[in-house]
Each structure stands twice: as structure tokens, then as C-alpha cells.
RNA sequence: GGGCCCAUAGCUCAGCGGUGAGAGCGACUCCCUCAUAAGGAGCAGGUCGCAGGUUCAAAUCCUGCUGGGCCUACCA
């Protein structure tokens, strides 16, 4: 099986903040999950550089346009790397020449199919906002919504249009035939309502004369066969998903990887991914993506994240303080995918201490310590019959595997982690119930001690795979201490109880999530 | 204006017609000592937003109200 997943590409107007991070972490987690399942997995991210806003951002920062996009691309990629988000391809829409070819190819195909035509775009342009508005957007029909004293200029532009209106029925059919096309389903209802109101064509180019000139060329991707126009957002941005799959240069690769299995996007761009993009692909005679996964937005300490109010957090700073695994865990555990969530630093600290250090980290630590102390570091293989308490832990483990899997398939990350944690908690209870430290003092309990320690180790083995999509580095450390190789492709399909390799030797017990002294004045 | 979602223990949420309303976290009490001053057990008596209605029976269905959020198309 192949699995191709993408995130939205971000505007490189400013460095990324935690608001951008949730989506990337979620997509990366899904990509890692599919790799563990043994799927041939491809994960694409990128930046959306072609917008005319980007040269303006460069100006505002007194940078050359190319210098600016280079710097921003490095900042984005650096942030994702710090969060252990590892795309296979990072598209830069203004720099990558294969992307320009893909965008033009998609346009040509749609044009050849008769769905591109020249028309006149009319709108009201506010020179202060550098933005077009429609009449209905204007205050009292004449003033700019952001500048009440300014009347935007009425403009007409000759643009290319895409005949979206022809696709209404086919899009409704698409939703009917694929109830999971839009996840979660509440968004499917929104889109359906939109479709039933009927669709309007949209413009897909802008005149070259209004484009910023960079290095002697207009900023943007030229419209094929018409140097007077550059492509406008839809064909120069959404197309990145097809570029990464090989369009148009590598037909074999494209045949293998297209369509995308999932586009992960924020709720603000649902419409573009669930309506515009599938219609564009239909027009070009290409398959539509299998699924669009829509996540909510994040607030920061109860407030909207906004550059202007300054309440932004640099994810790299968080990673420096807590580690990528903890940040990933916190976001996916505390922010439900399908709703808006609130990032609260105190809650991150709480999750770190309670869930990661005390529950999971300490479980590993006490298990590895006891195996080292009582069994010379060799993980015992159970030979004695299974006692009721052993069977109960096994049952919980099997339920945790099933629950974690089901939830990940449904983009329910907090549910997945909750399911895994049911095993963490049960394993800690199991240790207390069986008191291996007492068994170790009882010469007659030697066999029983082996069973208990082997059972705990087995629970940890499963956890080190179950949690690996969310916390790759921590799980690698867990497995190292357990004497196991790093989780590898296909391991997810092998999450069967009782397969701890015989004779495995554990490593030294080192806290994976070191406790932090939160009252340390040095902090 | 039209459409949609949410409001359950201090906090985050599950339950979505039927035994006495649940989980995790926090607080408190107790137990243990293998472990990262970690772990386990007990304990919370919450008008299930408000007001009506349907039903043998409602947090769970219907109506209205209040509060919060979202969609209603070319900034992405």
C-alpha cells in the first residue's frame, strides 16, 4: 500500500508559530504511523511563495525578495525539523521549477478540456490594503472594510477564469459516494450546503502588469501561452500536491503516487480543498484526492494568535525547553483535531510531569531497573502459566493496540493517546499489584518474578511502537533501553502480545523524560 | 438574514432514551518502596446552561431562551 499525505503550504510572510505547528505535527504523525504499518509513505509540505503579498513582506523587512523567501524557507524548515516533522519533499512554489511546470501543465489540461476562458474580473481595489474587495464586502457599498474613510477604486481586469460552476453536480456526487472524503463529517455538511447554493466561476490569473517584478521577471508563474498573465493562487499553490507526486516530469512516479490519500488543512481553507481543487483535477482529467482532513484553530492562553498583539510562541523555543516529543504529545493530547483548542503553557508543563515523566517515563525506568537488578538485565521470557492479573494486562494491551489504531485512522489523536495511556496506567497498577521487589526476596517466587517482569517489559515493547508516531525520539530511547531496535516499517502489524525477543538485554535506566524542577530559580 | 456546532464535577472532556451521572488531571487521606520525592488505593456528592414539552423513563428526543464559536465563495 502507498500513502501520500500533505499539509497546507504556508505563506512565508513571517516566521512560523505554534499555530502553524499543530497541522504539521498531526500530518507527520500520520505519515509515521503509515510507515510503521509498512506502507510506502510520502509526506509533502512547503511554502506558498507566489503571492504578491510575499514581495511586500520582503519590502517591509527591507530584504530582497529572493533573499526574503530564502530566509523564510529556512526558518520554516528549521522549525519543522526542530519539531521532528520530517517531510519527504518541501516545496517552494516560487523556486522549484518542477512546480512551475506542474502548475502550467494543470492549467493547460484544464484549458484543453474547455474549462478555462477569458473573462472580466471586476472588483474594488483598496490601495491601502492592496486587496480586492467585492461590492458586498464594502461598508455601505462604498468604503473599505478596513479603512472606513477610503473608497476603494473600481477596477476591471481581463483574467482567465475557471468554469467551476460546471462541476457542482459532480462534486455533490463525489461527496455522496465518499462519506469520509471530508473529515470530520461536520465539514462535509458545510460544503454540501455550499454546493447546493450553486458555484460561481473564479479567476485564475492576474495581469502581469500588476505583478511585482523580481530580477527582471514578473513574480509568479506565467500563464502558458500568454505572457501578459501570471497564474493566480489556485493553480500556482494547490498544484503543489501534484508537483510532489511527479506531475508533469515523471509520469511513472505520478501514476504510483497520485491521488493523494489525505490533504491536512485548517478549517479556513476547507472550501478550496474540497471544492476548487477537486474540480480543477476533474477538469484536468486527474483523480481527486481520497480525503481532506480538516483541523480546528488554536488560541494561545485563551487569545487569538496574532502577530499584531504579539501573542505568538516560537515552537523552537518550546522545543528547547521541553523537547519535541513533549510538545508533540501535548498538542495532540490536549487539542482535539476537529475543534479549536487552546495552548496553555501550564498545561504543557502539567502533561509533561504527570503523563510523560511520572506515568510513562517512570514505568520504563522502574521496569528496566528491576530487570537489571533482579535478572542481570536479561528480559525474562514467561514460562509459567498466565495468572489472572497477567491476562488482564494482556487484555488491556490488546484493547490499547486496537483503540490506538482505530483512533489514528480517524484522525482522533487525543483518543489514540488516551487509548495508549490506558495501557500505561494498567501497567503501573500491575507492577504495584505484583510487587516484584517482594517476589525478589522470596526464593520460591523466582518463576513468578520472571513472569511479572517479562509481562511489564512486553507492555512497554508495545507502547514503544504505539507511541512512536507521536513521540519518535522518546520511543527510540525507550526501545534502546529495552534492548530493542528502533521501530521499523511493518512493526505496527506485529503488535501481538508475547513477542518480546528471548534473551534481550536491557540498557541502563536513564529517565527519558527527566523531571524538571519547576521552582528552580535558575530557570 | 439563512445554515451549523457547543454549553456535564475546580480544570480538560466522555456519555447522546433506561440499573444509584463517568474518565483523566488537580486537592485531600491512606498503602508501598522497584522507580524520575515516582507508583497504587480511597475520596469529589456536580440544578448534566435556563424554561417548557414528548415519554412508563431524558444529560440523552422536540420547542423556545441565554451565552460562546463557526460557515454564508476568488487574502490564502
| Residue–nucleotide distance: A359 CA to B43 C1' (Å) | 21
Residue A90 has phi, psi (to 5 degrees) of -120, 105
pLDDT score recorded for residue A131: 62
* CA–C1' A88–B16 (A): 42
Across all strands, nucleotide nearest A195 (CA–C1'): B73
Asked if the Cβ of residue A428 lies within 7 A of any atom of strand B, the reply is yes
Cell 489514540 identifies what position? A416
Is A79 within 8 Å of A16 (Cβ atoms)?
yes
The reported pLDDT for the residue numbered A522 is 33
CB proximity A186–strand B (7 Å threshold): yes
CA-CA distance, A412 to A168, in Å (whole number)?
30
Sign of CA dihedral A282, A409, A330, A321: negative
CA A497 to C1' B22 (Å) is 30
Grid coordinates representing A12?
512565508
Q: What is the pTM of this model?
A: 0.93
CA distance linking residue A69 with residue A76, whole number of Å: 10
> Is nucleic acid strand B under 7 Å from A362's C-beta?
yes
Closest nucleotide to A474 by C1' from CA: B36
Q: How far apart are CA A13 and CA A58, in angstroms?
A: 8
| pLDDT tens-digit profile, chain A (523 residues) | 999 999 999 988 888 888 889 999 999 999 999 999 999 999 999 999 998 888 988 998 999 999 999 999 999 999 999 999 999 999 999 999 999 999 999 999 999 999 999 988 777 776 665 566 666 666 555 666 556 566 777 777 888 999 999 999 899 999 888 888 998 877 888 888 888 888 889 889 988 888 889 988 899 999 999 999 999 888 999 999 999 999 999 999 999 999 999 999 988 889 999 999 999 999 999 999 999 999 888 887 777 776 666 667 889 999 999 999 999 999 999 888 888 888 888 889 989 999 999 999 999 999 999 999 999 999 998 777 789 999 999 999 999 999 999 899 989 898 899 999 999 999 999 999 999 999 999 999 999 999 999 999 999 999 999 999 999 999 999 999 999 999 999 999 989 999 999 999 999 999 999 987 644 433 3
Nucleotide lying nearest to A437, CA to C1' measure: B34
Whether the beta carbon of A147 falls within 7 A of nucleic chain B: the reply is no
The pLDDT of residue A521 is 36
What pLDDT is recorded for position A197?
A: 81
- What is the reported pLDDT for A438? 96
Residues in A 224-243 whose C-beta is less than 7 A from nucleic strand B are 232-233, 237
DSSP labels, A345-387: HHHHHHHIIIIIIIIIIHHHHHHHHHHHHHHTTBPPPP-SPPP
Fold of A345-494: Isoleucyl-tRNA Synthetase; Domain 1 (1.10.730)
| CA proximity to A397, closest of A425, A433, A359, A365 | A425
- Å between A188 CA and B50 C1'? 32
- Please name the nucleotide lying closest to A428, CA to C1': B39
Alpha helices in A40-184 (DSSP H): 53-60, 65-82, 97-112, 168-177
Determine whether the distance from the CB of A452 to the nearest atom of strand B is below 7 Å: no
Quickly give A341 CA vs B52 C1' distance in Å.
34
Contact A393, A426 (CB under 8 A): yes
SS3 at position A119: strand
Query: What is the distance in angstroms measured between the alpha-carbon CA of A279 and the sugar C1' of B4?
Result: 25
Q: Which nucleotide is nearest to A426 (CA to C1')?
A: B40
Neighbours of A194 (CB within 10 A): 16
Q: Which nucleotides of B are covered by protein (CB under 7 A)?
A: 2-5, 12-14, 24-26, 32-41, 69-76
Instruction: Find residue A119's DSSP bridge partners.
Output: A159
What's the pLDDT at A520? 40
Which H or E run includes A41? strand A40-47
What are the residues facing A3 on neighbouring strands? A41
The C-alpha R_g of chain A, in whole angstroms, comes to 27
Cα separation, A39 vs A260, whole angstroms: 14
CA of A342 to C1' of B13 (A): 14
A267 CB closer than 7 A to any strand B atom:
yes
- pLDDT value at position A251? 95
Name all contacts of A322-327 with Cβ < 8 Å and 24+ positions apart.
Answer: A322/A348, A322/A352, A323/A473, A323/A474, A323/A513, A324/A82, A324/A83, A324/A84, A324/A473, A325/A84, A325/A356, A325/A470, A325/A471, A325/A472, A325/A473, A325/A474, A325/A513, A326/A351, A326/A352, A326/A356, A326/A513, A327/A21, A327/A25, A327/A83
Amino acid at each position: 500500500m502507498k500513502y501520500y499525505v500533505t499539509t497546507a503550504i504556508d505563506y512565508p510572510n513571517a516566521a512560523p508559530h505554534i499555530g502553524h505547528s499543530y497541522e504539521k505535527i498531526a500530518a507527520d504523525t500520520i505519515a509515521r504511523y503509515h510507515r510503521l504499518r509498512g506502507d510506502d509513505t510520502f509526506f509533502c509540505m512547503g511554502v506558498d511563495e507566489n503571492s504578491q503579498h510575499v514581495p511586500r513582506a520582503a519590502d517591509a523587512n527591507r530584504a530582497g525578495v529572493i533573499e526574503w523567501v530564502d530566509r523564510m524557507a529556512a526558518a520554516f524548515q528549521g522549525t519543522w525539523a526542530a519539531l521532528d516533522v520530517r517531510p519527504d519533499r518541501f516545496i517552494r512554489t516560487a523556486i522549484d521549477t518542477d512546480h512551475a511546470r506542474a502548475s502550467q501543465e494543470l492549467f493547460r489540461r484544464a484549458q484543453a478540456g474547455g474549462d478555462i476562458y477569458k473573462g472580466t474580473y471586476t472588483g474594488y481595489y483598496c490601495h491601502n490594503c492592496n486587496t480586492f474587495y467585492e461590492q458586498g464586502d464594502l461598508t455601505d457599498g462604498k468604503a473599505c472594510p478596513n479603512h472606513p474613510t477610503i473608497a476603494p477604486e473600481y477596477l476591471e481586469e481581463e483574467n482567465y477564469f475557471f468554469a467551476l460552476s460546471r462541476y457542482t453536480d459532480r462534486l455533490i456526487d463525489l461527496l455522496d459516494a465518499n462519506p469520509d472524503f471530508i473529515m470530520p463529517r461536520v465539514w462535509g455538511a458545510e460544503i454540501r450546503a455550499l454546493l447546493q447554493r450553486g458555484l460561481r466561476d473564479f479567476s485564475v490569473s492576474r495581469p502581469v502588469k500588476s505583478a511585482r517584478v523580481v530580477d527582471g521577471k514578473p513574480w509568479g508563474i506565467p500563464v502558458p501561452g500568454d505572457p501578459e498573465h501570471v497564474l493566480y493562487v489556485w493553480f500556482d499553490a494547490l498544484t503543489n500536491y501534484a508537483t510532489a507526486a511527479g506531475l508533469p516530469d515523471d509520469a511513472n512516479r505520478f501514476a504510483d503516487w497520485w491521488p493523494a490519500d489525505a490533504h491536512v488543512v485548517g478549517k479556513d481553507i476547507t472550501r478550496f480543498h474540497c471544492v476548487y481543487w477537486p474540480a480543477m483535477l476533474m477538469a484536468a482529467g486527474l483523480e481527486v484526492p481520497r480525503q481532506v482532513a480538516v483541523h480546528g484553530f488554536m488560541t494561545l492562553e485563551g487569545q487569538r494568535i496574532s502577530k499584531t498583539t504579539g501573542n505568538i510562541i516560537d515552537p523552537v523555543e518550546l522545543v528547547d525547553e521541553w523537547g519535541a516529543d513533549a510538545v508533540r504529545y501535548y498538542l495532540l493530547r490536549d487539542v482535539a483535531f476537529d475543534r479549536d483548542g487552546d495552548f496553555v503553557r501550564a498545561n504543557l508543563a502539567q502533561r509533561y510531569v504527570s503523563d510523560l515523566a511520572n506515568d510513562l517515563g517512570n514505568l520504563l525506568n522502574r521496569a528496566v531497573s528491576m530487570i537489571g537488578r533482579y535478572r542481570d538485565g536479561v528480559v525474562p521470557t514467561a514460562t509459567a502459566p498466565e495468572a489472572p492479573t497477567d491476562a488482564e494486562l494482556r487484555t488491556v494491551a490488546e484493547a490499547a493496540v486496537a483503540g490506538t489504531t482505530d483512533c489514528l485512522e480517524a484522525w482522533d489523536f487525543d483518543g489514540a493517546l488516551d487509548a495508549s495511556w490506558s495501557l500505561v496506567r494498567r501497567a503501573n497498577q500491575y507492577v504495584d499489584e505484583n510487587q516484584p521487589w517482594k517476589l525478589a526476596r522470596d526464593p520460591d517466587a523466582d518463576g513468578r518474578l520472571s513472569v511479572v517482569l517479562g509481562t511489564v517489559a512486553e507492555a512497554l515493547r508495545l507502547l514503544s511502537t504505539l507511541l512512536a508516531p507521536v513521540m519518535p525520539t522518546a520511543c527510540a530511547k525507550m526501545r534502546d533501553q529495552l534492548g530493542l531496535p528502533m521501530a521499523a516499517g511493518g512493526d505496527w502489524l506485529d503488535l501481538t502480545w508475547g513477542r518480546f525477543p528471548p534473551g534481550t538485554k536491557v540498557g541502563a535506566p536513564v529517565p527519558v523524560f527527566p523531571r524538571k524542577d519547576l521552582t528552580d530559580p535558575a530557570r
